[in-house]
Amino acid sequence: MWAIGIALIILGAVYFILGPFSLDETLKIGVVAPLSGETTDIGTDMQRSYDLAAAQINESGGVNGHTIEFVYVDGACSAEEATARAQELVETHGVSYVLGGGCLVEADALATYAKESGVLYLSPTILSPMEESSLNVYSLYPTKAQETDLVVAHAKEAGLDRMAVLYEESEYAQMYIDGLTAAYGDDVITAYLFDSETDMTELMATVRTENPNAVYILPSSGETGLPVLEALSASFLNVGVYGSTELIMIQMTEETLSLYEEMVVTAVQLPGSSKTTMYLETYLELYETLPTDPIVGAAAYDSVYLLAEAIENGGDDVAGYMSSQINAWNGALGTFSFDENGNTDLESSLLQVTGGQLIRLNEPVEEVEEVIEESEEVGEEVGEETEDSEDSDVEGEVEDEAQK
């Protein structure tokens, strides 16, 4: 009897020291990403960035001595698929932590499931505003309200107090409109849906009747935004022009450059920090390309490090650690904290087109393009030096993760 008691005490002590994992167990983390369909490129960015961070953490000893292992499932940028796959991760694979969400509907579905199931969820992309805050849902991507606040502040300072919003159907358009209305007020915001493939003469005549002194253009791409700028120029409306990032995602030509002059746009930019540079350089070295969307890639990369820190230090309350201890956290995205709704406080950039160049109007930071250019140069040098050499330990681990 005494022998059994002593054995139980010893086993209890061993369990207390080792925690709930056995020595040979891995830390499984679920990832729901768009691995098929039109947003596959974003899903690839996410998967590669997750694998890169996990390989680096595992090489440094893992999380409390346990190796990170991802279980990837395809959310297909669908709310139904994302919910079903998240449920599969929790109920079949037994995960307590979920990452991913490569588009709004996928990320929103995962956020809803996380709140209902109690799993901890970190999104590298934007989420719709939540009606109720949750300690287990976090987004590393700046909100659209944060972007619209910057625009409204700039417009008001310039004396522009009547704004017309020209928007194209997209998953983010209503977020912009809601943010502008909240910051400006219902009485000075008028929204008009446009179709880039139809003549906009009548639309511009309607806008003119409202007598705005500012216009905010929200296209789904640079190609669909260009006809709006052409119609606006032809209408001779004397207004300040603002736009979302998509408006400038196009190759400007000598013929179209004047349409963009003095336009003000919002954009999320990576800082020129050492962590950002290291992330981009290592990504380029391993995959021989940069992320399609460096912001989402960096957010995915940082998510793994954030979660690892919370698990290592949060004990039984990992979500509580995320909500209370992640303050001025420094990662590839920059330095940020989370607000009471689980949103990052990273600030977007306010950029103005001047002489064909983008000039930052709020606090200047090193442009991400400079970081990317430097990373490409380093990548070329490293590629030449290691062309015939064996893969590094991290590269091998990344390949192992990708094969799982």
| CATH number of the structural domain spanning residue 254 | 3.40.50.2300
132 within a domain of the structure (yes/no)? yes
Residue 115 CA to residue 125 CA, distance in Å, equals 17
The pLDDT of residue 363 is 67
The verdict on 294 and 213 lying in the same domain is: no
126 within a domain of the structure (yes/no)? yes
The verdict on 229 and 87 lying in the same domain is: no
The verdict on 27 and 136 lying in the same domain is: yes
Report the candidate in 156, 160, 164 with the shortest Cα–Cα distance to residue 243.
164
392 within a domain of the structure (yes/no)? no
pLDDT tens sequence across 333-363: 999 999 988 999 998 899 999 988 889 998 6
The pLDDT of residue 117 is 95
**Domain-terminating residue out of 346, 373, 388:** 346
325 within a domain of the structure (yes/no)? yes
Containing structural domain, residue 259 = 144-267
**Domain-terminating residue out of 323, 346, 369:** 346
8 within a domain of the structure (yes/no)? no
Report the candidate in 15, 75, 19 with the shortest Cα–Cα distance to residue 43.
75
The verdict on 154 and 50 lying in the same domain is: no
pLDDT at residue 378 tops 80 = no
Task: Please spell the DSSP secondary structure of 57-73, one letter per residue.
Answer: HHHTT-BTTBEEEEEEE
Model confidence at 10, in pLDDT bands (50, 70, 90)?
Answer: very low
The verdict on 148 and 138 lying in the same domain is: no
**Single-letter amino acid code for the residue at 282:** T
The verdict on 93 and 172 lying in the same domain is: no
When the pLDDT of each residue in the chain is averaged and rounded to a whole number, the result is 85
**Domain-terminating residue out of 243, 267, 291:** 267
85 within a domain of the structure (yes/no)? yes
> Which of 173-187, 287-301, 302-316 is least confident?
173-187
pLDDT tens sequence across 39-60: 999 999 999 999 999 999 999 9
The pLDDT of residue 68 is 97
The verdict on 332 and 275 lying in the same domain is: yes
The verdict on 81 and 113 lying in the same domain is: yes
pLDDT tens sequence across 188-217: 789 999 999 999 999 999 999 999 999 999
Average the pLDDT over 148-153 and give the result: 92
388 within a domain of the structure (yes/no)? no
Average the pLDDT over 297-319 and give the result: 96
Average the pLDDT over 8-29 and give the result: 49
The verdict on 133 and 170 lying in the same domain is: no
The number of distinct structural domains making up the chain is: 2
- Between 367 and 281, where is the model more confident? 281
The verdict on 110 and 223 lying in the same domain is: no
Report the candidate in 34, 51, 44 with the shortest Cα–Cα distance to residue 290.
44
Model confidence at 397, in pLDDT bands (50, 70, 90)?
Answer: low
The pLDDT of residue 400 is 58
The DSSP bridge pattern shows strands 120-123 and 97-100 to be parallel
Average the pLDDT over 253-263 and give the result: 91
Residue 403 CA to residue 244 CA, distance in Å, equals 38
322 within a domain of the structure (yes/no)? yes
The verdict on 275 and 261 lying in the same domain is: no
The verdict on 205 and 235 lying in the same domain is: yes
In the chain, the percentage of residues whose pLDDT exceeds 70 is 83
Regarding pTM above 0.85, the answer is no
